[in-house]
């Protein structure tokens, strides 16, 4: 096996280091931001932007090493891009539900339903 060209080595290293720096910044944001709702954004950034940077670096490295495109890496990115937003939505909805039940100051519901404290009845039930 021949040695990797300097430009490809630099590109691979830069992408992996950029992804690691984004993950570190997102982790610091996760630790320092106040409240649950503010803390939801940094993990999503880590899982998307940092993941893509690291995967592109790994893609370049393994393509050079094996001579074929390692498409399995893009399957990882596809699964992350699919599952992270769905998980974030479920966590946010659960947190909003709990905050509304605890009468915390959160945005009003957009579904047209009245909060449980006000005698929740769906508008279609006809009061």
Number of Cβ within 10 Å of residue 54's Cβ equals 21
Q: Is residue 123 situated within a structural domain?
A: no
Residue 117 falls inside a structural domain: no
Degrees to nearest 5, angle at CA 34 with 33 and 40: 65
Predicted TM-score (pTM) of the model is 0.69
Q: What is the pLDDT of residue 121?
A: 47
Given this model, what pLDDT does residue 19 score? 93
Residue 121 lies in a domain: no
* Domain containing residue 17: 6-104
pLDDT for residue 14: 95
C-alpha neighbours within 13 Å on the C-beta side of residue 104:
12
pLDDT at site 70? 85
pLDDT, position 117: 54
Q: What pLDDT, on the 0 to 100 scale, is given for residue 97? A: 87
Q: Which residues of 105-120 are buried (b: 16+ CB within 10 A; e: fewer)?
A: eeeeeeeeeeeeeeee
* DSSP per-residue letters across 3-16: PPPHHHHHHHHHHH
Residue 115 lies in a domain: no
Report yes or no on 18 lying in a domain: yes
pLDDT tens per residue across all 127 residues of the chain: 568 889 999 999 999 999 999 989 888 888 888 888 888 888 887 888 888 899 999 999 988 888 888 888 889 888 988 888 888 889 888 988 888 888 877 777 777 665 555 544 445 554 4
pLDDT, residue 123, reads 52
Question: Domain for residue 56, yes or no?
Answer: yes
> Residue 114 domain-assigned?
no
Is 110 among the domain residues? Answer: no
Domain count, the chain: 1
Contacts of 33 (CB under 8 A, 6+ apart): 39, 41, 42
59: nearest Cα among 3, 8, 100: 8
């Amino acid at each position: 096996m021949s040695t990797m060209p300097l430009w490809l080595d630099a590109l691979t290293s830069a992408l992996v280091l950029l992804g690691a720096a984004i993950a570190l910044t997102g982790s610091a944001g996760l630790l320092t931001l106040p409240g649950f709702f503010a803390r939801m954004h940094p993990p999503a950034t880590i899982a998307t932007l940092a993941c893509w940077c690291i995967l592109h670096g790994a893609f370049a490295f393994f393509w050079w090493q094996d001579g074929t495109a390692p498409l399995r890496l893009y399957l990882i990115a596809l699964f992350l891009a699919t599952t992270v937003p769905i998980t974030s939505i479920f966590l946010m909805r659960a947190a909003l539900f709990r905050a509304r039940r605890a009468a915390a100051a959160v945005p009003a519901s957009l579904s047209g339903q009245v909060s449980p404290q006000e005698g929740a009845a769906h508008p279609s039930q006809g009061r």
